[in-house]
Amino acid sequence: MIIRRVCTADVASLHANRLCGLTIEETADLVRSAVEQETGDEFCFLVAADERGVAGMTTVRRLEHRMRRHRAELGGFVIVPAARGTGLARRIVGAARERAARWGCSVLEVSCRGGTAAERAYRGLGFEEWGRLPGGLHDRGGLVYDEVRLWLDAVGEQGGQ
């Protein structure tokens, strides 16, 4: 399994593995937009893939505000169920940290729904909570979650690829 930038050839696998939760057309638009954005040093869409296809993904984006340029944020971090518990998430976070550190960022952050497996997973990866907004996320079906903001040192020990 290698971790690399997304490419247009990943669209079918991202869609088939339900990593984006979008239609095939929306997935193609997302990937096309990501490939265009990656010409600078502010954004990267990473995938973990092998001969069977894409098994995980995340985006990493450097924050724009002048007082936040030392921070980068993960988004859309998803691992297919079959690859959970294999260390793949740690490798993807390691690649994202490496990218953020290259941009001069010292903080990697992420947000998630409180009280979920995602929150436990991020904590297990070394992220620490820095903020919580009670009832900050409203999902389909009337589900309400706290929005939890977590951070990780982007220049600490890097995960392997």
Characterize the bridge pairing of strands 128-138 and 144-153: antiparallel
Asked whether the predicted pLDDT for residue 158 surpasses 70, the reply is no
Contact 120/92 with Cβ under 8 angstroms? no
Span of 10-24, 74-88, 120-134, 139-153 with lowest mean pLDDT = 10-24
Asked whether the predicted pLDDT for residue 141 surpasses 60, the reply is yes
Q: Give tens-digit pLDDT for 29-66.
A: 889 888 887 766 799 999 999 999 999 999 999 999 99
Q: What is the pTM of this model?
A: 0.88
Can you name the residues that pair with 61 across neighbouring β-strands?
A: 43, 73
Cα 36 to Cα 4, 149, 160, distances in angstroms = 16, 28, 27
- What band does 143 get if pLDDT is binned at 50, 70 and 90? very high
Domains along the chain?
A: 2-153 (3.40.630.30)
Separation CA 53–CA 14 (nearest Å): 8
Locus of tokens 């971790």: 3
